[in-house]
Structure 1
């Protein structure tokens, strides 16, 4: 199991604050999740800046490039590492650089920690074109799915300290936690997770389950599609576009997975059998 252990240098910061409650004012120490800018310099392309929680930066960059269709395996990288003495600058050199693919990354010119598509000039949908529908052959039981949030909570070390981080966790078909990443940004947490898979030769993730600590939005489902994840579960709600993509690409999408219950938005037949299959298309006007 590969989880963020909270020991990397920049995980959180402690400072003095004041708390007001019915008992009055109390001075105490609080832990905050650190948010800093990471500049990703891809040779031959414009730099990309994203706000993130420092740590697992190589995985973040690798996952971002996977989601944008710029890289597909660790063999695509000649260099992927921090510049000496610059922990917030990551240099990336591809073995087979293609300007057309690098343009996709350049469109990400500025991302913030709240939204993986904020600041983009265009949604990069072309990387998903021609991908086959996703397949998951193992059975998915209610008991298995409802057990996942508890496993996530046990390992969210930075969230336990700060209360201000998102998480993305990878499980196998038996519910075994394989990897977990945390970040101030939902999309960063997923990029770190898929980047871990890419750099450790774990792709594709067809027989794996991804659990999101918050909501399932368009950009998170897009990233899972590029990593070939066939089951995505979220503690909170999905968006209409997320459901549309999940149904189009054959993802089983579960939302509001908490307190022993959940909603199924796509791929219900993997959990309940073929008679419960949901429509393949989504009327965005009706759902939006």
Structure 2
């Protein structure tokens, strides 16, 4: 069974002029089981597209692997009830995962649901070191540039996107999903698979900025996180602690800057 990212669905449209029959393209969401060495680590509701990127990004941002080379085998397996993304890890990574096993379930709006301790919700994240510098004009245009990559959103008006902004080059890579955290995992997985250094650019989001997005960027080594909407207070505090430049309300030619502002400068230099 091959699941599509969107489905055409009949309905009725009601307005002052009356009712008419319609067909809408709606984004699909299905259970995706992330399975490591035969054991399910998480089941996430996600859009069934770019699933190899999603699975790898999840494995990276959860600290299950630190490099693609630690994965010995990988496959996507369709089932009637959903999809399995099956990993076979190198022995040392499998043992490390077994030692910190935790249950996790992630419905579309949340990337932290189902964790088994408060400590996991506020787990320490690495400090992000990068020489990246971005021009203010590039940051102000970032979410507009991301719109050109939102093909599923154009069809459905119901998905989030995460893009990768390179200095002087604009948004060069993007992924979409019904969940903002899933979209970011897909982007991080794509960066790893395509060999793009995460520290060379910024993540651009179509959503609000919450703690789990900052955590994922820190785990991946992305130094700048830009979004069209507001951050939470906890996200700002975590970004400050992690060395991440947090940019919010990037729209209409402007933006708000909340942490580590030195990376946004008119004297920005291109980085390799």
TM-score normalised by structure 2 residue count? 0.88
Partner residue, 1:14: 8
Count, aligned residues: 261
- Once the two structures are TM-superposed, the CA of residue 124 in structure 1 deviates from its matched residue by 5.8
Counterpart pick for 2:115 among 120, 125, 128: 120
Q: 1:261 to 1:167 in 2, by over 3 A?
A: same
The 8 Å contact of residues 76 and 85 in structure 2, kept in 1 or not, is answered as yes
Partner residue, 2:270: none
Counterpart pick for 1:165 among 154, 159, 162: 159
Counterpart pick for 1:40 among 34, 39, 44: 34
Runs of 5+ in structure 1 lacking a partner?
A: 1-7, 274-288
Supply the distance in 2 between the matched residues of 1:269 and 1:44 (Cα, whole angstroms). Answer: 45
Supply the distance in 1 between the matched residues of 2:17 and 2:89 (Cα, whole angstroms). Answer: 59
The 8 Å contact of residues 74 and 200 in structure 1, kept in 2 or not, is answered as no
User: Is the counterpart of residue 265 in structure 1 residue 258 in structure 2?
Assistant: yes
- Once the two structures are TM-superposed, the CA of residue 151 in structure 1 deviates from its matched residue by 1.4
Counterpart pick for 2:85 among 82, 90, 94: 90
Cα shift readout 1:16-37 (whole Å, capped 9, x = no counterpart): 1111112111111111000100
Counterpart pick for 1:233 among 222, 226, 230: 226
Moved over 4 A (4+): 84-87, 124-127
Cα shift readout 1:5-53 (whole Å, capped 9, x = no counterpart): xxx9511100111111121111111110001001121116444211000
Partner residue, 1:25: 19
Counterpart pick for 2:97 among 96, 101, 104: 101
Cα shift readout 1:157-190 (whole Å, capped 9, x = no counterpart): 0001001101100111224322100001111101
Supply the distance in 1 between the matched residues of 2:223 and 2:41 (Cα, whole angstroms). Answer: 31
Partner residue, 1:277: none
The 8 Å contact of residues 74 and 201 in structure 1, kept in 2 or not, is answered as no
Supply the distance in 2 between the matched residues of 1:76 and 1:178 (Cα, whole angstroms). Answer: 27
The 8 Å contact of residues 68 and 124 in structure 1, kept in 2 or not, is answered as no
User: Is the counterpart of residue 53 in structure 1 residue 53 in structure 2?
Assistant: no
Partner residue, 1:206: 199
* Larger CA deviation: 76-85 vs 212-221: 76-85
User: Is the counterpart of residue 221 in structure 1 residue 219 in structure 2?
Assistant: no
C-alpha root-mean-square deviation of aligned residues, in Å?
A: 2.1
